[in-house]
Amino acid sequence: MNIKELTDLYLFNTYKRNPITIHKAKGSWVWDDKGKKYLDFFSGLAVSGIGHAMPPVVAAIQFQSKKLLHASNLFYTEPAALLAQQLCKRSFAKKVFLCNSGAEANEAAIKLARKYGSQNGRYEIIVFDNSFHGRTLGALAATAQPKFHEGFGPLPPGFPVAKFNQIDSVERLITPRTAAILIEPIQGEGGIRPCTPQFLTALRKLADQHGLLLMFDGVQCSLGRTGDLFSYETYGIVPDVLTLAKGLGGGMPIAAMLGSEKVANVLGPGDHGTTFGGNPVCSMAAIAVLKMLSPKVLKNVKKQSQAILKDLEPLARYPFVRELRAVGLMIGMELTIPGAPFVETCRKRGLLINCTQGNVLRFLPPLALSDSERRFALNILQQVFQREPVQ
Ligand code: PLP
C-alpha cells in the first residue's frame, strides 16, 4: 500500500488532503515523495513562517532532546521558564500559560475570562461572525461559522456573535453578563479579513468602559506575519489577553496564552493545566524561533508585502477577482468563482497555496521570502490566472 492508501485506510477522514505526499522540507521549499519541489507559499498553514527545518530550530531541538524530553508540570524546567520570560519581555504580557495548539490556547483564554468574570456573574464572551478559534468545544462555540457547528451541538453557551468591524453591533450585545471580547485582529480562516484600526481602537475603548477583557486570537496573524512580532503592535492596540500557536514552535507543537497585569493572578493552582504544556523540546524550539524573528526578518516582511501587492495588482484586475486584502504577508484574494482549481493548478506547477471559504486564495509566504522566490510565485500565478482554471 502506498502512503495515500494507508492514510485513507487508517486515519479518520477529517481532512481534504492535496494528492501529494510531503517527504521533506527546507527553508521555503517542500519536496514530495517523487522528488518534485514546491515553493511553500502558505508556510505549512502559517506554521513554518521562519522557514522549514531552520538550523537554529533544529539545533535547539537536538540539544534539548539529548538533555530532557519531558518533565511533568509538577516540576520546574528551564526551557519553559526562559520561553515565558522571552514572550513577556517582547510583549505587553506579565504572565504566560504554555500549551500545545491554538484551540487549546483559546480554551485557556475562555476559561480565564470566565474565571475573571465569575465574581460578578459575568461569563459571556462576545465573538464575531466569520471567526475561527479552533475545533475543541469551547473554541468551536466561539467560532461563529455555522458550518463548523453542524452535528456537534449542544455547544457551550455564552458566545453572542457581533458583526465584524461594526462597533454598534458589539455595543448592543454588552450586558451585565459580559466578561470579555474575543477577536482575531486579522481573520484567517474567515477569508483574510483585517479589522479596521478604528474598529480595534473602539473595541479597546468599549472594553475599558465596561470592564471587559479584550482578548486577541493571534494564532494565525502574529509572530511576524504582519511585519511586527505581534499583530497588536501593527494596530497599536494592546489587548489584555493574546493567544499564540502555529508559528511559535517553527514546526513543533507549542502554543501560549499571554496575559496582562490585570489578569496575572486570575488563575491559581489547579484552575487549568495540560500535561505537555511547556514541553522542554518545544519550548527550546520556540525560543529559537523568537530569536530568529529579528528586526531584519520583520523588515523583509514589510518590504516583500509591498512588492507582492504591486505584483498582484494586475492579477486583481481579472474579472473573476473580487477583492485583494492584505496585512504584511497575510494575503487573501477573493474570487467570484471557486478557488480549488487555482490551488490545484498552482500545485502542479510547483507552488503551494491554499483556499479558504471556498473562494479566497490565501497566500502566507515565508517571512524571509527572497526576491527570486517572489518572482517564482508570481510567474506561476500569472500563468494560472491567464488560463482561469475551472472545476
Ligand atoms: N485560531 C486561529 C485564528 C486559527 O487560525 C486557528 C487554526 O487555523 C486556530 C485558532 C486553531 O489552532 P489549532 O489548529 O492549532 O488548534
Give the pLDDT band of residue 388 (cuts 50, 70, 90).
confident
Q: Would the pLDDT of 82 be above 90? A: yes
**Which residue reads 517527504 in cell numbers?**
23
Phi, psi of 334, rounded to the nearest 5 degrees: -85, 130
For the chain, give every domain's residue range: 3-54+294-386, 55-292
The conformation of residue 114, written as its DSSP 8-state character, comes to H
Ligand 1: residue whose CA is nearest its atom 13: 102
Residue 335 amino acid letter: L
Residue 391: the pLDDT is: 66
Q: How far is the CA of 34 from the centre of ligand 1 (A)?
A: 30
User: CATH number of the domain at 3-54+294-386, please?
Assistant: 3.90.1150.10
245 lines ligand 1 (CB under 6 A): yes
Average pLDDT of span 59-72: 98
103 lines ligand 1 (CB under 6 A): yes
Q: How far is the CA of 219 from the centre of ligand 1 (A)?
A: 6
User: CATH number of the domain at 55-292, please?
Assistant: 3.40.640.10
217 lines ligand 1 (CB under 6 A): yes
219 lines ligand 1 (CB under 6 A): yes
Where do the H-state alpha helices sit in the chain?
A: 3-10, 43-46, 55-67, 78-89, 102-118, 137-142, 146-149, 167-173, 197-210, 231-235, 280-292, 295-316, 340-348, 371-387
Average pLDDT of span 134-153: 98
Give the pLDDT band of residue 209 (cuts 50, 70, 90).
very high
Give the ligand 1 atom nearest the CA of 218.
3
Of residues 273, 272, 276, 290, the one with CA closest to residue 100: 276
Average pLDDT of span 263-288: 98
Over the stretch 10-40, which tens digit does the pLDDT of each residue have?
999 999 999 999 999 999 999 999 999 999 9
Give the ligand 1 atom nearest the CA of 101.
15
Percent of the chain at pLDDT above 90? 99
Q: How far is the CA of 135 from the centre of ligand 1 (A)?
A: 8
Residue 96: the pLDDT is: 98
Residue 269: the pLDDT is: 97
Phi, psi of 74, rounded to the nearest 5 degrees: -80, -5
Give the pLDDT band of residue 91 (cuts 50, 70, 90).
very high
Average pLDDT of span 158-178: 98
Give the pLDDT band of residue 329 (cuts 50, 70, 90).
very high
214 lines ligand 1 (CB under 6 A): no
Over the stretch 93-109, which tens digit does the pLDDT of each residue have?
999 999 999 999 999 99
Residue 389: the pLDDT is: 83
Q: How far is the CA of 7 from the centre of ligand 1 (A)?
A: 23
Beta bridge partners of 52: 27
Ligand 1: residue whose CA is nearest its atom 7: 134
| Distance from C-alpha of 272 to C-alpha of 148, rounded to nearest angstrom | 26
Q: Report yes or no: 292 and 280 within 8 Å, Cβ to Cβ.
A: no
Residue 390: the pLDDT is: 73
133 lines ligand 1 (CB under 6 A): yes
102 lines ligand 1 (CB under 6 A): yes
Using most ligand atoms within 8 A of CB, pick from 99, 104, 246, 357 the residue to mutate for ligand 1. 246
Using most ligand atoms within 8 A of CB, pick from 47, 183, 219 the residue to mutate for ligand 1. 219
Q: How far is the CA of 227 from the centre of ligand 1 (A)?
A: 20
Average pLDDT of span 150-166: 98
Give the ligand 1 atom nearest the CA of 221.
3
151 Cβ contact partners less than 8 Å away, ≥ 6 residues apart:
none
Q: How far is the CA of 217 from the centre of ligand 1 (A)?
A: 9
Ligand 1: residue whose CA is nearest its atom 10: 133
Q: How far is the CA of 102 from the centre of ligand 1 (A)?
A: 5
Where do the H-state alpha helices sit in 29-185?
A: 43-46, 55-67, 78-89, 102-118, 137-142, 146-149, 167-173
Query: Mean pLDDT of all residues in the chain?
Result: 98
Q: How far is the CA of 46 from the centre of ligand 1 (A)?
A: 10
Give the ligand 1 atom nearest the CA of 139.
10
Q: The whole model's pTM is what? A: 0.98
Q: Report yes or no: 243 and 106 within 8 Å, Cβ to Cβ.
A: yes
